[in-house]
Structure 1
């Protein structure tokens, strides 16, 4: 009353010239047409504020302090919350529809700014869907204020009159039917003020609130801590929308036992905690219809201690962890749709809550989802912002059209046993339009991410097939086939299909993409099919063509066709890194002579590349195969002429290894982590380069390692000379003077240098030029490649070679000049060469042109000229050499020419099954040989130019032509099992 008197006195002083009367029941003041209650005095027919009445223009809009009497706010006003506003026991705060309350908080006051409904008090929030009540903050930052706190008199494991972790609020009692009022259509934003790491406010905090309290249609958005937290109590609530609250969307503890019905959680921010966190004793609350969606992974449901719940209608999408029993509590405490919770399940399902029921929230941030099922008889365009779930067959009927925009994701959510009934089918007369892009492909995948989870995409067309008109597919009783070869089933661009290939039985299976009699009017471009249980793509007749296909680790065939398919597949890349797949291509039935243009397939596990059954065939151009045990398999002995590969009949004896005709980089949009990379080596190397053993390298011309550079080749690396006819002599690797090579093969993983055609003389092998002495002098020019070699540094190092296999080298320039497997020009003694196998060369295995280098552990098999050759005064040592000759027409096991640098052969074994010459010495050449073993040669020692036998010392004596030289100890050939595969 003192305040009121003071205001009256002030009014009297301010307007003393007016006629004033005292307060009375009828106001007693002068009549006036205009209300003037803003002056603080009754006027006319007003009910004056000075008499305890109401005046809307004069009402205080600051919410602060304690409310001990009932109060109704005015929806036409915006209320400001600057500190704690406490509704005391016995009072009710009524908030009409459309009211807005704004927390206007100074920094540091966040935790003291909140609304609390104390035990015995009530709140009545009367929002509607068209006019919700809103509680927000002026700064619009998460954690700006403490939200709405309600303390009730129901039970809690903390007992009666417990003290809350926030605001010292007293809560809890024994009245489980306690009534704290009613909430309807309320939006709370930016709450969740942080006291410390253990104590925080939430958006809506419910302390021991009782079951007579009604809470319906609440949205809690952008909170710093939890959206809603139940501290014991029995209250139930429904229709909750919780978006981007940084800790938990829904949290409970202290034995809450109510029900939360129809909850929709959205997470589009990084770092949130959970969609649900439950702690403490298990009051077994119920979540009925709970949908949660994350675009950033995270944990969905977390249960601490012995907490639990009964959950029905659970739908989760996008979480990394679905169920987390934080303290190893029993999974039986958490019942989900009638079964114990299973952390291995995704719980992806049709959303059990319709996002449209929260349109009243007017949020611009939603991560929507939807389910595809049933039949589509009209045109439907999907929304790329929605994640779609396929939980059964979705059939695009005749006249229907399914349009799938770039970036759309469709997830097959399949219960065990339903795999073969879960697929998308475009029926005859229906259309599909997949509008993916390289930046935003369309993705069709499965929730369980296991091969065979679902049936993939099936398209049925009206083109011809050997099965006739209206044939019935082996899957789904789908009708296909007709007489319109130009039929169109739509368009597919940039589509990824994963985990398809559901198995009906041993004879019938779905594939990733199944094309039944699809016509040439259909366009299919840029498709990736990965980790399927059956085929990647299969053509059942039809005339459709397709291009740019990436097929990875499909367990049956990558590409399959039958029933007379006659289209073209252009630019296909197949990857096999799993055991047990069937083929890269399987063709069956009548030969419609389809075309494969640019087909690259690579396997790290062997297997069959191309298999043709019955009389099937194809025209194949640009074929590149790597790593298959069998290249062409005519399963039923069909004619090889039916399979034309690069203009010739298929040849199962050929490897078809070639430079990849399709660039793997063209499929970067797939973002696959499984790649078998290939690369081309060519040109000059002027800086250090280390190759990658996981990449297959192709030598397309000369690769020259220049002075100052080092080429490092790790163990297990494969280099394949891919040579066009006529380019053999320009295809080799050369290490120039001053350069180095470091071949790091091992017994288990040697480095391999070979050729794609696998024919002797395909390429020029490995050439090393050093700076040691040679009878040709300094900077001599090699007979091959105009390579400069020779100097005065006999200790020069050109690097190191260990465990190297060289095959099919020895390209022929002319009768006087040839490449070898390994050509060593004036290589110095600082170079180390150990464990080298040179096999099936057209010319020499290894030839030393002067130099001082030594080498050891050489295996030389069926090189057509000489196994070991030297000239120009080579003076090094070759230790532990094994030569095999089982071909007619070779030259020698050893040929030595020119000036005698007296090199040493220590432990030299040579075996021939075809006679021939073992050791041949020209001019004045010679050697010191210890532990010589020769077997099977017609001529043991041949002094070609009648040089002195004394130049050739064998086991301490002058060489003799007669020998016999079979008493030495043979080099153990098993030392070379790493090269021979024995």
Structure 2
């Protein structure tokens, strides 16, 4: 069941597109060698500045890669459907390329499945690579999409994602390779990322592999594994993050979590250390059939600062642990300012350091009806920031 309702946008199927760098929207033919955009089909390499139009109903039918030096611009209101049931359907942006996906609250940009009955894992997701540092090196190959990433440019610019929805992502290639909703590999802090939603994903919602990119207003609903994940020396700031698992969404890994923070899984002392800052976060479980392994697992050398977080399990839903800093590959350190817990969210598992206290409350989150959730002002994320996505919630077994 889809539990994050998006704004309905009716798109006409019009076989026009633009690949001009001056945004004149002329109707021109795609290069015979393949420019990644052929009518309303997206597949292959985009090697020159190109634009997707809201008036065209696009379908991704294979891997799409924006090559170094090219920029892909996507108009507000564009809906892009991905061919379902395959692991080679995704959108990738190479190091040195850009994506400008700048939607609006009224006309978001939507990436979704083309299936008549869509489900988590129908297609890959969005993969962006940059030149910002990773503690794995300066020419690392991404887990999926085969992109090189990493470098020394902390202020690298990969473009913009604003008011973007990605749903039914997380295609699994094998036991070691699985797409996230949106993956940031070495993405720098000149990249603009705000007001993004990942919904009904089979693996992680949003994951950062090194890099310095900052993210504001990020909502992960119904995620099979970790809602928010980082590793390899990520040092950006995440502000106003809301993760929720609805009742009825039972796709789950063996250890789904709200936050999973690693620095380096083979050397916890590798530089740069993951040192993110998170401001205003809510991790909410509404599903009594799936227990979250942890609200936050901070490990493998990570040093995280979290200001104003709420761990909440509503009714008979639960977490196994609240905060876990213990790991056999290296413990973690977390500093808390204004941390709250509501419901059955377990206790803290200390191996590393937890600096700061968690206050138990009863009113951080309330569910006045089956399709709304209300948050107490000043506790965790500001949910009003996501009203543009028309989110809904399922609570029946409480």
TM-score by length of 1: 0.31
- The aligned runs of 1:542-691 (5 Å cut-off) are none
Structure 1 residues 104 and 50: alpha-carbon distance in aligned structure 2, compared to 1, 3 A threshold: closer
Q: How many residues align?
A: 318
Aligned to 1:222: 200
Aligned to 2:91: 115
Q: 2:127 touches 2:145 (CA, 8 Å); kept in 1? A: no
Aligned to 1:364: 392
Q: What secondary structure is seen at the aligned counterpart in 1 of 2:74?
A: strand
Tell me whether 285-294 or 264-273 shows the greater mean CA deviation.
264-273
What is the aligned counterpart of 2:59 among 61, 80, 86? 80
Deviations 1:642-675 (A, max 9, x none): xxxxxxxxxxxxxxxxxxxxxxxxxxxxxxxxxx
Q: Structure 2: how far apart are the matches of 1:60 and 1:51?
A: 8
- The aligned runs of 1:383-782 (5 Å cut-off) are none
Structure 1 residues 344 and 261: alpha-carbon distance in aligned structure 2, compared to 1, 3 A threshold: closer
What is the aligned counterpart of 1:279 among 262, 268, 278? 262
Residue 50 of structure 1 deviates from its aligned partner by: 6.3
TM-score by length of 2: 0.74
Matched, 1:315 2:328: no
Q: Structure 2: how far apart are the matches of 1:83 and 1:51?
A: 17
Structure 1 residues 194 and 326: alpha-carbon distance in aligned structure 2, compared to 1, 3 A threshold: farther
Q: Structure 1: how far apart are the matches of 2:47 and 2:74?
A: 16
> Rg bigger for which structure?
1
Relative contact order, higher structure (CA 8 A, sep 6+) = 2
Q: Structure 2: how far apart are the matches of 1:180 and 1:366?
A: 36
Residue 173 of structure 1 deviates from its aligned partner by: 1.0
Q: What secondary structure is seen at the aligned counterpart in 1 of 2:183?
A: strand
Residue 347 of structure 1 deviates from its aligned partner by: 5.7
Q: What secondary structure is seen at the aligned counterpart in 1 of 2:137?
A: coil
Residue 361 of structure 1 deviates from its aligned partner by: 1.3
Residue 193 of structure 1 deviates from its aligned partner by: 1.1
Q: Structure 2: how far apart are the matches of 1:181 and 1:232?
A: 17
Residue 303 of structure 1 deviates from its aligned partner by: 2.0
Structure 1 residues 77 and 302: alpha-carbon distance in aligned structure 2, compared to 1, 3 A threshold: same
Q: 2:334 touches 2:355 (CA, 8 Å); kept in 1? A: no
Matched, 1:68 2:68: no
Q: 1:317 touches 1:347 (CA, 8 Å); kept in 2? A: no
Structure 1 residues 261 and 47: alpha-carbon distance in aligned structure 2, compared to 1, 3 A threshold: closer
Q: 1:147 touches 1:192 (CA, 8 Å); kept in 2? A: yes
Deviations 1:475-533 (A, max 9, x none): xxxxxxxxxxxxxxxxxxxxxxxxxxxxxxxxxxxxxxxxxxxxxxxxxxxxxxxxxxx
Residue 310 of structure 1 deviates from its aligned partner by: 0.3
Aligned to 2:101: 125
Aligned to 1:260: 238
Structure 1 residues 47 and 313: alpha-carbon distance in aligned structure 2, compared to 1, 3 A threshold: closer
Residue 362 of structure 1 deviates from its aligned partner by: 1.9
Q: Structure 1: how far apart are the matches of 2:308 and 2:65?
A: 38
Q: Structure 2: how far apart are the matches of 1:240 and 1:344?
A: 25
RMSD: 2.7
Aligned to 1:470: none
Residue 364 of structure 1 deviates from its aligned partner by: 2.2
Q: What secondary structure is seen at the aligned counterpart in 2 of 1:173?
A: coil
Structure 1 residues 347 and 224: alpha-carbon distance in aligned structure 2, compared to 1, 3 A threshold: farther
Can you give the 5+ residue segments of structure 1 that lack an aligned partner in the other structure? 1-36, 39-45, 53-57, 368-384, 386-406, 408-439, 441-982
Aligned to 1:289: 280
Aligned to 1:155: 133
Structure 1 residues 80 and 300: alpha-carbon distance in aligned structure 2, compared to 1, 3 A threshold: same
Q: 2:142 touches 2:148 (CA, 8 Å); kept in 1? A: yes
Q: Structure 1: how far apart are the matches of 2:307 and 2:157?
A: 27
Q: 2:335 touches 2:355 (CA, 8 Å); kept in 1? A: no
Q: Structure 1: how far apart are the matches of 2:242 and 2:30?
A: 49
Structure 1 residues 251 and 69: alpha-carbon distance in aligned structure 2, compared to 1, 3 A threshold: same
What is the aligned counterpart of 1:135 among 108, 111, 122? 111
Q: What secondary structure is seen at the aligned counterpart in 2 of 1:359?
A: helix
What is the aligned counterpart of 1:243 among 221, 235, 259? 221
Deviations 1:597-636 (A, max 9, x none): xxxxxxxxxxxxxxxxxxxxxxxxxxxxxxxxxxxxxxxx
Matched, 1:354 2:382: yes
What is the aligned counterpart of 1:304 among 285, 294, 299? 299
Q: 1:314 touches 1:347 (CA, 8 Å); kept in 2? A: no
Structure 1 residues 267 and 347: alpha-carbon distance in aligned structure 2, compared to 1, 3 A threshold: farther
Matched, 1:341 2:332: no
Q: What secondary structure is seen at the aligned counterpart in 2 of 1:205?
A: strand
Aligned to 1:213: 191
Q: Structure 1: how far apart are the matches of 2:144 and 2:191?
A: 21
Aligned to 1:525: none
Residue 330 of structure 1 deviates from its aligned partner by: 4.9
Structure 1 residues 257 and 344: alpha-carbon distance in aligned structure 2, compared to 1, 3 A threshold: closer
Q: 1:266 touches 1:366 (CA, 8 Å); kept in 2? A: no
Aligned to 2:348: none
Structure 1 residues 335 and 163: alpha-carbon distance in aligned structure 2, compared to 1, 3 A threshold: same
Tell me whether 339-348 or 207-216 shows the greater mean CA deviation.
339-348
Aligned to 1:99: 78
Aligned to 2:11: none
Deviations 1:389-439 (A, max 9, x none): xxxxxxxxxxxxxxxxxx9xxxxxxxxxxxxxxxxxxxxxxxxxxxxxxxx
Deviations 1:719-739 (A, max 9, x none): xxxxxxxxxxxxxxxxxxxxx
Residue 126 of structure 1 deviates from its aligned partner by: 1.3
Structure 1 residues 308 and 366: alpha-carbon distance in aligned structure 2, compared to 1, 3 A threshold: farther
Deviations 1:834-876 (A, max 9, x none): xxxxxxxxxxxxxxxxxxxxxxxxxxxxxxxxxxxxxxxxxxx
Q: What secondary structure is seen at the aligned counterpart in 2 of 1:198?
A: coil
Q: Structure 1: how far apart are the matches of 2:327 and 2:180?
A: 24
Q: Structure 2: how far apart are the matches of 1:305 and 1:193?
A: 26
- The aligned runs of 1:847-866 (5 Å cut-off) are none
Q: What secondary structure is seen at the aligned counterpart in 1 of 2:195?
A: strand
Q: Structure 2: how far apart are the matches of 1:122 and 1:237?
A: 17
Aligned to 2:156: 178
Q: Structure 2: how far apart are the matches of 1:303 and 1:70?
A: 40
